[in-house]
């Protein structure tokens, strides 16, 4: 490997170690601690760098010394706080002897805080030292002699409580105690641990020396992870080593600004309709029964006007007035057809009922209002209207939902142009090439059509309903040309596009789902 | 819109009438035929042959039965309707049904006939009962305007009378009961009395049908007598009556029943109903009766509506194959509906029947050619622009129900008893969860926040949509306005973070705004403001009150704003 490629591949930590060694007189070895100090590295950083450099043969180990170090175990720390078991046994024995109380090994073993095996070991050791005697009946009695073990343990626990110490700094006697009370294989419950610390010193290999020399002559480029404005301003980026990233990792997740997938779907429909020459209509969430139903020639006794189909408004329950001349005209048409050429429904129209306020139950209400407001002729209109139905909410019924509806007015409107328009919807909105027209029934259109299309992914599905508005609808509202009324049922298409099976999920409160739904239409 | 259950073999028998019965008609063929009756196959059990069919046309009660569906298909196949003789004949000595004075105050009209020679089968009986129920329930508006009774003819002695009696003067054993009861007992105890009693609620005298021996036939429109008014499998002589409030609907219902029984092989004998005073059809009304009148339709009207030249002959043929009686003249046709239909309100109804009879596939689609300019409303454009800006500001759009609960829109927001807490409420509440319209957007945003504590933060949400604001001065009692609301939730969010977003939104919408301090129960005092544009309030902004967060069980600070786009647009 060529030396500059080699240098490029070096991690900043490696560079620090190499240059630190390179600054010493050639052949000078440095121990780990010195090296860490000189290179200003944490012990863990140094050990990483050293391992990498050894693996690349840029440094070699000069010396390796093994130093035994003694430290306290967790047990040792406990003994430091509460005194060692042997000391506690001796104290109890002295107290018993002083007061003349009987004290046996089982007595001690049943005392709180002492492990039975610790007690036996302690008594054994004290007896060997001649500090205690076992007299008749197994009673323990002190002799008054001091215990070297207890004294030594106390000193050692105190010494090592602060920091580990090298074993060689202790006296021979203490070293023996440490040996006796150190964690060994098969006996983990001891206060001391003796570890071997390996101290190594390192020296540059010939390759390493070359690299170090090169690095030193280049000037030690400062390593940074971030290109900063300061680096750019003073040009110091030229001397700066920008760390190379591992780019194969997954990035952290960020929050996004995004449209709701269902709204996005409706937006595409909206755009399609505008591109086909449709003008948007708006309407109110609360409507009179007049515009919601009467104007659409739905008789006041129609089953769909029942209390179980429409939501009625509580307060105010009625509007103050419905616009004339529409109210009188529509009332007459319901009663006897008036001048529309119709027989009418032949019942007596209830004007009060017409004023009843409801939550808009069909988007056609918006079309009715448009018809009464001098629409353009020829004209095409659409609305995406929120509607409300008195339905039990389940996977296929929502209590409020969007209806995509509209009208087309013109001298050239007839049954065949109605079918032509539906063909256009099938192609533009559902990308369908096959269409089937079925007779249908709507109270306000005649003839009425239901359109079934073959969707490229969904197969045959009902896309919508349409028809020519009855004269009973158009004439009282002042429209004399034929009018197509159409409606598209798009929720199923939206649900498939969004990968959901429950209509309620269109309005889900699950933010994670909203955020992760792609919405490809 | 009724859905009925019929059996395929029954339909097949009715399709062919006399002569050879065709079995095993393919389902695809059947579904195509159903187009003639605006019927949709909802279910099919191949083992029992049971078919569930939804009939769309609420003006064609004659189609809400197996006989009617079969008849419409049969006419198409045979090219014309074979006329029912009983509509034409005037019987020499018909049975009489006498209407006593006073009925006009309660349930004025009745029609009746007898049917002999059809032995009732199990499936036939089920169809009779289904037709009776569908007609009375849907066409008869839950028996209010029309109800129907069927009886064993042999137990009846004519003339039958239709009259008023005191509630406790007449007793009989109603269907479904073991013992005789007075009419007032039936209203109080019998399930049908409880269900349909309200139709007679204000009456002190009640209607009854009795025969010449004073045996009660029924207490219309509530319940039949068990002795005479229970038809069983094997009966072959029936008496059918229809009572109601509209003479034409009453006669039409009987016509349908008579045609159905005739299709099954019965001989229909009309009954003469004698009223005490003149009705629109006179004092003596023979039922069933053909009420249809021919209408003349200009060919031009038909051809213009269908967008195709057809010619008189083709139109005549199409209408005859749909059951009409037609005579063609130069430039027009004269068409009369069959007697079991009464749905011709306008010439366009005939036009649709022409199209259906020929089949919609016979008409080639043509594109409307006139040029129109498309476009979005001003408010939708403003809303779309605002939505784009919110997306640019890193907000996730959400979408919510508008119908919700006072708990969400008012109590959860600490707005009880305040002007801000007023909503448009539903009168006929089904579930409290859906009982009022949202009057502002913030609760819709909190709904998502409350459910999404596990979704990674920060949360930046917005929704643009309609709200309904109660307004006594508006003709509808409320204004529907389009608003946009936005919310930020994370551990260190604060007023100025959301203020910055509002600032950007207003800047790009070209609206100079200012904030004035606002005391609003949903926001922390001293950290809430009213948004003013040209001195007019158009929205609110603030740190959401911790008590509101507690009520929604949200444990993350939330800041929010809401701008009324409709009001903003009005400011120009």
- Interchain pair A380, B372: CB under 8 A: yes
Whether pLDDT at B549 is above 90: yes
d(CA B106, CA B100): 12
Query: For helices A32-39 and A43-55, what crossing angle results, to 10°?
Result: 110
d(CA A333, nearest CA chain B) in Å: 11
In the block, residue with structure tokens 């000069």: A62
Between β-strands B536-544 and B523-533, what pairing exists: parallel, antiparallel or unpaired? antiparallel
DSSP H/E element including A519: none
Q: Is the pLDDT of residue B17 over 60?
A: no
Closest CA–CA distance from residue B40 to any residue of chain A (Å): 10
A285/B379 CB distance under 8 A: no
Both tokens of A27, joined, read: 């052949």
431-470 in chain A: CB under 8 A from chain B: 437-441, 443, 446-449, 468, 470
pLDDT, position B484:
98
Beta bridge partner(s), residue B544? B523
Q: Which of B151, B159, B150, B146 is nearest to B107 (CA)?
A: B146
Helix (H, G, I), strand (E, B) or coil at A137: helix
Minimum Cα–Cα distance from A342: chain B residue: B346
| Subunit contact B307:A414, Cβ cutoff 8 A | yes
Q: Region A336-349: what's the mean pLDDT? A: 92
Quickly state the pLDDT bin for B192 (edges 50, 70, 90): very high
Q: Give the list of residues 6+ apart from residue B248 with CB closer than 8 angstroms, or none.
A: A346, B291, B342
Query: Across the interface, do A259 and B466 touch by the CB < 8 Å criterion?
Result: no
Could you tell me if B360 lies within 8 Å of chain A, comparing CB atoms?
Answer: yes
Nearest to B346 among A315, A415, A472 (CB): A472
CB nearest to B475's CB, from A258, A283, A319:
A319
pLDDT greater than 90 at residue A494: no
Return the half-sphere exposure (C-beta side, CA atoms, 13 A cut-off) of residue B407: 8
Average pLDDT over chain A, rounded to an integer: 88
CB-hemisphere CA count at 13 Å for B514? 5
Nearest CA distance, A477 vs chain B (angstrom): 17
Best B409, B427, B565 member to test A by mutation, with max A CBs in 10 Å, is B427
Contact between A358 and A310 under an 8 Å Cβ cutoff? The reply is yes
Q: Which residues are within 8 A (CB) of A65 and not within 5 positions of it... i.e. 6 or more apart? A: A198, A199, A200
Q: Which residue of B has its CA nearest to A415?
A: B306
pLDDT, tens only, A359-383: 999 999 999 999 999 999 999 999 9
Confidence of residue A407 (pLDDT cuts 50, 70, 90): very high
For B:133-192, CB contacts with A below 8 A are: 138, 141, 145
Q: CATH 1.10.10.10 region(s) of chain A?
A: 3-64+198-218, 74-190
Tokens read off for A164: 């580990």
B chain contacts of residue A432, beta-carbon cutoff 8 Å:
none
Q: Which of A181, A316, A23 is nearest to B468 (CA)?
A: A316
Chain A nearest-CA residue for B56 = A441
Say what angle helices A491-498 and A261-275 make with each other, to 10 degrees: 130
Residue B556 sits at the chain A interface (C-beta within 8 Å): no
Give me the residue from B58, B361, B402 closest to A400, CB to CB. Answer: B402
From the CA of A285, how many Å to the nearest CA of chain B?
Answer: 6
- Asked if B1 is an interface residue toward chain A (Cβ–Cβ < 8 A), one would say yes
The partner residues of A166 in beta bridges, in order of sequence, read: A69
CB-based contact, B376 to chain A, within 8 Å = yes
Test A410 with B400 for CB contact under 8 angstroms. no
Q: pLDDT band at residue B282, thresholds of 50, 70 and 90?
A: very high
How close B99 gets to chain A, by Cα (Å)?
A: 24
Phi, psi of A393 (to 5 degrees): -75, 125
Q: Does A376 touch chain B (CB under 8 A)?
A: yes
pLDDT at B206 over 70: yes
- A107 or B306, which is more confident: B306
Min CA distance, B430 vs chain A (Å)? 8
Whether chain B has a CB inside 8 Å of the CB on A394: the answer is no
- Beta-carbon separation of A437 and B475 below 8 A: no
Question: Distance between CA A180 and CA A170 in Å, rounded?
Answer: 14
* Confidence band, pLDDT 50/70/90 cuts, at residue A272: very high
Q: Are the beta carbons of A496 and A457 closer than 8 angstroms?
A: yes
Mutate which: A509, A510, A515, A518, vs B, most B CBs within 10 A: A509
Considering only CB atoms, A507 lies closest to which of B400, B431, B468, namely B400
pLDDT at A219 over 70: no
Helices B312-320 and B347-358: crossing angle, nearest 10°? 80
| Interchain CB distance below 8 Å, A386 and B402 | yes
Which of A241-255, A425-439, B540-554 has the least mean pLDDT? A241-255
Q: Between A299 and A241, whose confidence is greater?
A: A299
Please, are residues A71 and A160 in contact by the beta-carbon 8 Å criterion? yes
Average confidence (pLDDT) over B498-526? 96
Tell me whether residues A415 and B466 touch, CB distance under 8 A: no
Give the best residue of A385, A439, A467 to mutate against chain B (max B CB count within 10 A). Answer: A439
**pLDDT score of B20:** 63
Please state the rounded mean pLDDT for residues A260-283.
95
Q: Which residues of B touch A275 (CB under 8 A)?
A: 374
DSSP-derived 3-state class of residue A332: helix
Taking the C-alpha atoms of residue A71 and residue A162, their distance in angstroms, rounded to an integer, is 9
Q: Which of B460, B253, B446, B234 is nearest to B340 (CA)?
A: B253
Q: How far is B475 from chain A (nearest CA, A)?
A: 6
Average pLDDT, chain B: 93
Mutation target to probe the A interface, by most A beta carbons within 10 A, among B352, B464, B488 is: B352
Residue B18 has pLDDT above 60, yes or no: no
Upstream peptide bond of A389 is cis (omega within 30 degrees of 0): no
Residue B398: which pLDDT band, with cuts at 50, 70 and 90?
very high
pLDDT value of position A1: 62
Contact A277 B427 (CB under 8 A): no
**Which chain B residues touch A510 with a CB distance below 8 Å?**
451-452
State yes or no: pLDDT of B19 exceeds 60: no
Let me know the angle formed at the C-alpha of A39 by A38 and A40, rounded to the nearest 5 degrees.
90
The domain spans of chain B are 3-78, 85-287, 295-360, 378-570
Class assignment of domain B378-570? alpha beta
pLDDT at residue A195 in the model: 85
Task: Inform me whether the pLDDT recorded for B287 exceeds 60.
Answer: yes
Secondary structure class of A154 (helix, strand, coil) = helix
Cβ-count burial of A171 within 10 angstroms (0-12 exposed, 13-18 middle, 19+ buried)?
exposed
Q: What is the CATH number of domain B3-78?
A: 3.30.56.10
Q: Around Cβ B467, how many Cβ atoms within 10 Å?
A: 25
User: What's the CATH fold of domain A74-190?
Assistant: Arc Repressor Mutant, subunit A (1.10.10)
- Mark yes or no for CB contact B375/A274 under 8 Å: yes
The lowest-confidence range among A177-186, A470-479, B45-54 is: A177-186
d(CA B442, CA A337): 48
Q: What is the pLDDT of residues A102-150, one digit of tens each?
A: 888 888 877 767 788 888 888 888 888 888 888 877 788 888 888 888 8
> Interior CA angle at B283 toward B277 and B286, to 5°?
145
Q: Does A190 touch chain B (CB under 8 A)?
A: no
On whether the CB atoms of residues A19 and A217 are closer than 8 A, the answer is no
CATH class of the domain defined by A3-64+198-218: mainly alpha
Class of domain A262-516 as given by CATH:
alpha beta
| CATH H-level superfamily of B85-287 | Phenylalanyl-trna Synthetase, Chain B, domain 3 (3.50.40.10)
Lowest mean pLDDT among A28-37, A286-295, B494-503: A28-37
B345, B348, B434: residue with CB nearest A399:
B434
Share of chain B above pLDDT 70, in %: 99
> Among A303, A313, A511, whose Cβ lies nearest the Cβ of B448?
A511
CATH architecture of B295-360: 2-Layer Sandwich (3.30)
CA B467 to chain centre: 28
Burial class (CB in 10 A: 0-12, 13-18, 19+), B301: middle
Residue B344: closest CA among chain A residues belongs to which residue?
A343
Whether residue B375 and residue A411 make contact (CB cut-off 8 A), yes or no, is no
Reading the block at residue B425, the tokens are 């409420």
Determine contact: B451 vs chain A, CB below 8 A.
yes
- According to DSSP, the β-strands at A400-409 and A483-488 are antiparallel
Mean pLDDT of A469-480: 97
Which residues on A lie below 8 Å from B458 (Cβ)? 255
pLDDT of residue A186: 65
* Helix runs in B222-330, H state only: 247-263, 299-306, 312-320
User: Which tens digit of pLDDT belongs to each residue from B77-95?
Assistant: 999 999 999 998 777 778 9
Question: How far does B157 lie from chain A, in Å, by closest CA?
Answer: 36
Contact state of B368 with A342 under an 8 Å Cβ cutoff: no
pLDDT digits (tens, 9 = 90+) for A426-441: 888 888 888 999 999 9
CA distances for A21 relative to A2, A31, A38, A46, B384, angstroms: 21, 11, 9, 13, 66
With an 8 Å Cβ cutoff, is A284 touching chain B? Answer: yes
The answer to whether residue A308 scores a pLDDT higher than 80 is no
Which of B1, B248, B345, B350 best tests the A interface by mutation, with the highest count of A CBs <10 A? B345
Q: With pLDDT > 90 as the criterion, what percentage of chain B qualifies?
A: 87
The answer to whether the CB atoms of A359 and B480 lie below 8 A apart is no
What pLDDT, on the 0 to 100 scale, is given for residue B498?
97
A281/B396 Cβ within 8 A: no
């Amino acid at each position: 490997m060529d030396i500059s490629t080699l240098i490029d591949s070096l991690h900043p930590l490696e560079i620090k170690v190499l240059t630190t060694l390179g600054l010493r007189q050639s052949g000078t070895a440095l121990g780990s601690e010195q090296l860490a100090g000189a290179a200003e590295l944490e012990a863990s950083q140094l050990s990483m760098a050293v391992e990498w450099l050894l693996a690349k043969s840029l440094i070699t180990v000069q010396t390796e010394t093994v130093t035994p170090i003694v430290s306290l175990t967790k047990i040792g720390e406990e003994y430091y706080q509460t005194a060692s078991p042997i000391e506690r046994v001796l104290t109890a024995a002295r107290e018993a002897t002083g007061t003349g109380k009987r004290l046996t090994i089982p007595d001690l073993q049943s005392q709180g805080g002492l492990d039975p095996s610790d007690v036996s070991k302690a008594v054994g050791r004290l007896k060997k030292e001649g500090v205690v005697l076992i007299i008749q009946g197994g009673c323990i009695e002190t002799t008054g002699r001091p215990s070297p073990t207890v004294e030594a343990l106390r000193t050692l626990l105190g010494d090592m409580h602060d920091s580990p110490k090298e074993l060689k700094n202790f006296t021979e006697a203490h070293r023996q105690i440490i040996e006796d009370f150190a964690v060994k294989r098969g006996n983990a419950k001891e206060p001391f641990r003796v570890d071997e610390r390996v101290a190594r010193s390192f020296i540059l290999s010939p390759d390493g020396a070359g690299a170090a020399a090169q690095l030193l002559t280049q000037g030690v480029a400062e390593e940074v992870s971030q290109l900063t404005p300061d680096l750019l301003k003073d040009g110091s980026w030229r001397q700066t080593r920008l760390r190379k990233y591992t780019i194969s990792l997954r990035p952290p997740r960020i929050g996004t600004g995004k449209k709701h997938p269902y709204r996005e779907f409706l937006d595409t429909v909206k755009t399609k309709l505008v591109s086909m020459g449709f003008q948007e209509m708006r309407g109110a969430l609360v409507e009179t029964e007049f515009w919601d139903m009467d104007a659409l020639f739905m008789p006041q006794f129609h089953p769909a006007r029942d209390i179980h189909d429409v939501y009625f408004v509580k307060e105010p329950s009625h509007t103050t007035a419905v616009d004339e001349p529409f109210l009188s005209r529509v009332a007459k048409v319901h009663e006897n057809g008036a001048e529309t050429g119709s027989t009418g429904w032949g019942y007596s129209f209830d004007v009060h009922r017409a004023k009843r306020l409801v939550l808009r139950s069909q988007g056609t209400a918006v079309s009715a209002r448009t018809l009464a407001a001098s629409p353009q002729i020829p004209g095409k209109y659409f609305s995406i209207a929120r509607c409300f139905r008195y339905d039990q909410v389940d996977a296929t019924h929502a209590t409020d939902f969007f209806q995509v509806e509209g009208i087309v007015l013109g001298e050239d409107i007839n049954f065949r142009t109605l079918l032509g328009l539906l063909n256009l919807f099938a192609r533009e909105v559902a990308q369908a090439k096959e269409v089937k027209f079925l007779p249908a029934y709507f109270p306000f259109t005649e003839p009425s059509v239901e359109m079934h299309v073959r969707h490229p992914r969904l197969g045959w599905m009902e896309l919508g309903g349409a028809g020519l508005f009855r004269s009973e609808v158009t004439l009282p509202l002042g429209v004399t040309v034929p009018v197509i009324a159409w409606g598209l049922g798009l929720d199923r298409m939206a649900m498939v596009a969004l990968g959901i099976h429950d209509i309620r999920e269109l309005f889900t409160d699950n933010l994670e789902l909203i955020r992760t739904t792609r919405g490809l239409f | 819109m009724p859905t009925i259950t019929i059996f395929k073999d029954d339909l097949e028998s009715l399709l062919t009438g006399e002569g050879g019965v065709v079995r095993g008609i393919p389902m695809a063929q059947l579904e195509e035929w159903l187009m003639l009756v605006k019927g949709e196959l909802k279910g099919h059990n191949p083992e029992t042959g049971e078919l569930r069919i939804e009939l769309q046309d609420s003006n064609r009660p004659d189609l809400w039965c197996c006989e009617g569906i079969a008849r419409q298909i049969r006419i198409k196949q045979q090219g014309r309707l074979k006329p029912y003789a009983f509509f034409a004949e005037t019987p020499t000595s018909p049975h009489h049904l006498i209407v006593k004075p006073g009925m006009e105050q309660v349930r004025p009209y009745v029609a009746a006939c007898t049917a002999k020679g059809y032995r009732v089968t199990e499936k036939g009986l089920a169809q009779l009962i289904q037709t009776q129920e569908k007609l009375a329930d849907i066409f008869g508006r839950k028996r209010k305007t029309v109800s129907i009774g069927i009886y064993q003819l042999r137990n009846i002695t004519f003339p039958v009378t239709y009259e008023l009696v005191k509630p406790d003067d007449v007793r009989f054993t109603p269907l479904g009961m073991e013992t005789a009861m007075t009419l007032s007992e039936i209203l109080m105890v019998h399930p049908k009395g409880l269900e349909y009693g309200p139709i007679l609620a204000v009456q002190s005298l009640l209607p009854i049908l009795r025969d010449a021996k004073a045996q009660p036939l029924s207490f219309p429109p509530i319940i039949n007598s068990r002795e005479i008014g229970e038809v069983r499998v094997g009966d072959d002589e029936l008496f059918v009556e229809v009572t109601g409030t509209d003479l034409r609907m009453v006669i039409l219902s009987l016509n349908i029943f008579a045609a159905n029984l005739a299709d099954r092989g019965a001989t229909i004998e009309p009954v003469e109903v004698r009223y005490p005073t003149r009705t629109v059809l006179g004092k003596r009304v023979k039922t069933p009766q053909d009420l249809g009148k021919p209408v003349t339709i200009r060919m031009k009207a038909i051809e213009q509506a269908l967008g195709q030249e057809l010619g008189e002959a083709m139109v005549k043929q199409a209408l005859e194959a749909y059951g009409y009686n037609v005579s063609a003249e130069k430039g027009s046709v004269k068409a009369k509906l069959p007697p079991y239909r009464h749905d011709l309100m306008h010439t366009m109804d005939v036009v649709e029947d022409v199209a259906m009879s020929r089949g919609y596939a016979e008409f080639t689609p043509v594109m409307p050619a006139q040029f129109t300019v498309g476009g979005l409303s001003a408010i939708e454009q403003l809303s779309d622009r605002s939505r784009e800006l919110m997306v640019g500001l890193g907000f996730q759009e959400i979408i919510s129900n508008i119908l919700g609960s006072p708990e969400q829109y008012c109590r959860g927001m600490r707005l009880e008893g305040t002007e801000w807490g007023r909503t448009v409420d539903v009168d006929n509440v089904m579930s409290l969860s859906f009982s009022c319209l949202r009057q502002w957007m913030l609760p819709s945003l909190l709904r998502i926040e409350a459910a999404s504590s596990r979704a990674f933060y920060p949360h930046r949400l917005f929704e643009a949509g309609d709200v309904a604001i109660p307004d006594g001065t508006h003709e509808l009692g409320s204004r529907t306005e389009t608003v946009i609301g936005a919310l930020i939730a994370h551990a260190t969010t604060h007023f100025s973070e959301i203020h910055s977003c509002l600032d950007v939104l207003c800047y790009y919408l070209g609206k100079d705004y200012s904030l004035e301090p606002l005391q609003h129960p949903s926001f922390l005092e001293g950290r809430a403001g009213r948004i003013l544009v040209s001195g007019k309030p158009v929205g609110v902004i603030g740190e959401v009150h911790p008590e509101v967060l507690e009520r929604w069980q949200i444990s993350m600070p939330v800041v929010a704003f809401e701008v009324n786009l409709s009001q903003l647009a009005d400011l120009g």
